[in-house]
Amino acid sequence: MNIVQFQPDHAREILNGEMNIGAPANPKDFLKFVDEMVVNGMSFSGIVNGEVIGSGGIVPVYKHMAEVWLLLSGKVYKNRLTTIRNILINMDKMQKKHQFVRLQAAVKASWPEAVRFASWMGFENEGLMRKFGPDHEDYYRFAKVI
């Protein structure tokens, strides 16, 4: 897997292709925010055989806190272990380099795979945010406080 700086076209490639299991039914709303997610040195994509497997990053909110985002294609399952290892390594490096003491993410409440993954990554469910997303569905606020 080759790790490269995230570009908006990476998200478009993922969203226009096969999404990972349980992905929201209308991921196109995500494209409205793609340009804001390009944070130099804090957003990345994993490429295998010329195809974008996934993208993710950290967007600073305050000096001490950042929002984590992740977008995975259905192709991630063929490269599951490598992808997860790279996510953990890169998230940890960025957290330490920028001295974030809080990382947080919004996870769709009706997406059990994503809820389990956030918990597995060491994030704690802080509660339900009703009608939070662009789809007016409920999301959980997950956070990892260091």
What pLDDT, in 10s, does the model give residues 17-39? 776 666 656 666 666 667 777 88
The CB density around residue 146, as the number of other CB atoms within 10 Å, is: 12
Residue 120 in this model has a pLDDT that exceeds 80: yes
Instruction: State the CATH number of the domain containing residue 75.
Output: 3.40.630.30
Per-residue pLDDT band at 11 (split at 50, 70, 90) = confident
107, 111, 120 from 128: Cα distances, Å: 9, 13, 18
pLDDT in tens, 40-99: 889 999 999 999 999 999 999 999 999 999 988 888 888 888 888 888 888 999 999 999
Between 29 and 107, the more confident residue is 107
pLDDT at 138: 95
* Paired tokens of 71: 């977008």
- Based on the structure, what is the number of domains in the chain? 1
pTM (2 d.p.): 0.86
H or E segment and range at residue 145: strand 139-145
Domain that holds residue 101: 2-145
pLDDT at 135: 78
